[in-house]
Amino acid sequence: MIRLISIVLVVSLLLVCGPTCDPSIPFPMGFSAFPDPIEFLLPGESIFLTIEANDGTLASWSVSTSANWILMDPTSGTGNGRVEVQIDRDSLAPGEHSGTIQVITSLGTTTVTVTTTIPQGTGLTGEIAFASNRDGNWNIHAMNVNDKSVRQLTSSSGDDIAPSYTPDGSQVFFSTNRGGNYDIYKMSADTGGGTPVIADAADDYYPSVSPDGTKIAFLRHEAETDELILYTAAINGGLVTRMKNNQGLRYTYSDSVWEMDEVHLGDCRPAWSPDGSKIYVAYWVTPGPTPTQRAPGLAVFSAADPNADLWAKRLNQGTGYSHDSWWDVSPDGTMLAGAANPRITVYDIADGNLEGGLVDPILHTDSNEDSAPTWSADGRRIAYSCRPTTANGSVRDIWVVDTFRTRGQYLRVQLTDDPAEDRTPVWRPQ
């Protein structure tokens, strides 16, 4: 009888597995443990390991590991189980790590693989310039975004603000009042310093270098009207052109036209389109009889024609936009990132105008007064400044947020965390 049963088992095994099947391999287990492998991608992430019978429930189960960086709770139980698995990232050196969890049940045993990769530093690459008052007055600093090391580029008796790199990353343009009023200066991106480019009686703010490196756009405060006016100039400061003249402002969705004396530009850095044909600037108008009522929007100037009508998009003030919101165009020209307290938002402009909607979803940042977004050269990340809602929330710090999701989340990295104000970051071209 025993020999007959053995023959039947061998025949059955051959029928299931075929002639190449190894009889030493056991039959499929009567339980499952999943997911396998468990891959940790996010800081602070918890992943639940499910242990269950394929039919019915388990009498008992337990889990163990020889990797002390793998944390589990609970480690045993009756019936089908669910184990919260975490990892101790702080105990791991940079690099790839792999460990196993041994699962023992009343129906058999198995192992589950656990993997993670710890980046070197922040995991980011490149350099960001920003303005900070950590030395008392405002100066320009540059940070290695991987190890967070900071170089001070300017050290003047005045305030140096709003840096902007040239396309080749060799120079930084900025605004400074070291000579009395605010002028446009430039300096080496490596050694710092500063020499005047545009120095006159007017206050000139927020230089923005064109993609081809031949021009700068900036805002000039004209004292006679107390208005900020968009100007462009040759990269060496010559051929200064006033861009806000007698043209009209038209909305993308209607035939209404605003005269230029009714359009007021915001306190923000102009943003060039990648092809250099457009300049984006925030603005406001007074839509009703109340002078204090301001309707914010985003205007598009023609970089080639200072008298061409402006195209504009009204923005919903209830979502946090203001007439001082800073904007930046993605490297491929298809998206606009803008500051909308308390978050950074992205608009689709792939059709070439402003009629696209918000990219889904909005890049929430759980903070206050998010401002000055700037795209990385590969378009995968946005740097910005904000006031965190947690500790040190009274001053702005520099953060970076991914523009893509990892397990449904936009990952963020805080780059600065000090008692000073850190503002207006900009990526150095690579």
Query: In this structure, which topology does domain 28-118 adopt according to CATH?
Result: Immunoglobulin-like (2.60.40)
On whether the CB atoms of residues 217 and 198 are closer than 8 A, the answer is: no
Query: Could you tell me which residues come within 8 angstroms of residue 138 by beta carbon, excluding any fewer than 6 positions away?
Result: 131, 132, 159, 160, 161
Element of type H or E holding 7: helix 2-17
Q: How many CB atoms lie within 10 A of CB 43?
A: 11
> What is the per-residue pLDDT for 170?
97
Question: In DSSP terms, which residues pair with 264 in a beta bridge?
Answer: 284
Pairing outcome for strands 160-165 and 150-152: unpaired
On whether the CB atoms of residues 141 and 152 are closer than 8 A, the answer is: yes
Question: In DSSP terms, which residues pair with 381 in a beta bridge?
Answer: 402
Stated pTM of the model: 0.83
On whether the CB atoms of residues 52 and 58 are closer than 8 A, the answer is: yes
Q: State how far the Cα of 129 lies from the Cα of 135, in Å rounded to an integer.
A: 16
Q: State how far the Cα of 407 lies from the Cα of 343, in Å rounded to an integer.
A: 20
> What is the per-residue pLDDT for 364?
62
Tell me the domain boundaries of the chain: 28-118, 127-427
> Is 127-427 in the same CATH topology as 28-118?
no
> What is the per-residue pLDDT for 343?
74
To the question of domain 127-427 being in CATH 3.10.440.10, the answer is no
What is the residue-level pLDDT of the chain in tens, covering all 430 positions? 444 444 333 434 333 344 334 433 343 579 999 999 999 999 889 999 999 999 999 999 999 999 999 999 999 999 999 999 999 999 999 999 999 999 999 999 999 999 999 999 999 999 999 999 998 899 999 999 999 999 999 998 899 999 999 999 999 999 999 989 999 999 999 999 999 999 999 999 999 999 999 999 999 999 989 999 999 999 998 889 999 888 888 886 677 788 888 888 988 999 999 999 999 998 888 766 555 666 778 899 999 999 999 988 777 554 555 666 788 999 999 998 887 766 788 888 887 667 667 775 566 656 556 688 999 999 999 999 887 666 555 788 999 999 888 888 888 899 998 889 999 999 999 8
Element of type H or E holding 129: strand 127-135
Q: State how far the Cα of 420 lies from the Cα of 152, in Å rounded to an integer.
A: 14
Q: State how far the Cα of 378 lies from the Cα of 335, in Å rounded to an integer.
A: 13
CA distances (Å), origin 378, targets 83, 215, 228? 39, 23, 32
DSSP classification of residue 261:
G
Q: State how far the Cα of 28 lies from the Cα of 16, in Å rounded to an integer.
A: 11
SS3 state at 16: helix
Q: Which DSSP string do the residues of 141-194 spell out, in sequence order?
A: EEEETTT--EEE----SS-EEEEEE-TTSSEEEEEE-TTSS-EEEEEETTTEEE
On whether the CB atoms of residues 90 and 68 are closer than 8 A, the answer is: no
Phi/psi region, residue 145 (left: phi>0; alpha: psi -120 to 50; beta: rest), is alpha
In our burial notation (b when 16+ CB lie closer than 10 A, e otherwise), range 356-368 reads beebeeebebebe
Residue 258 carries which side chain, given as an amino acid letter?
W
Q: State how far the Cα of 131 lies from the Cα of 139, in Å rounded to an integer.
A: 6
On whether the CB atoms of residues 78 and 59 are closer than 8 A, the answer is: yes
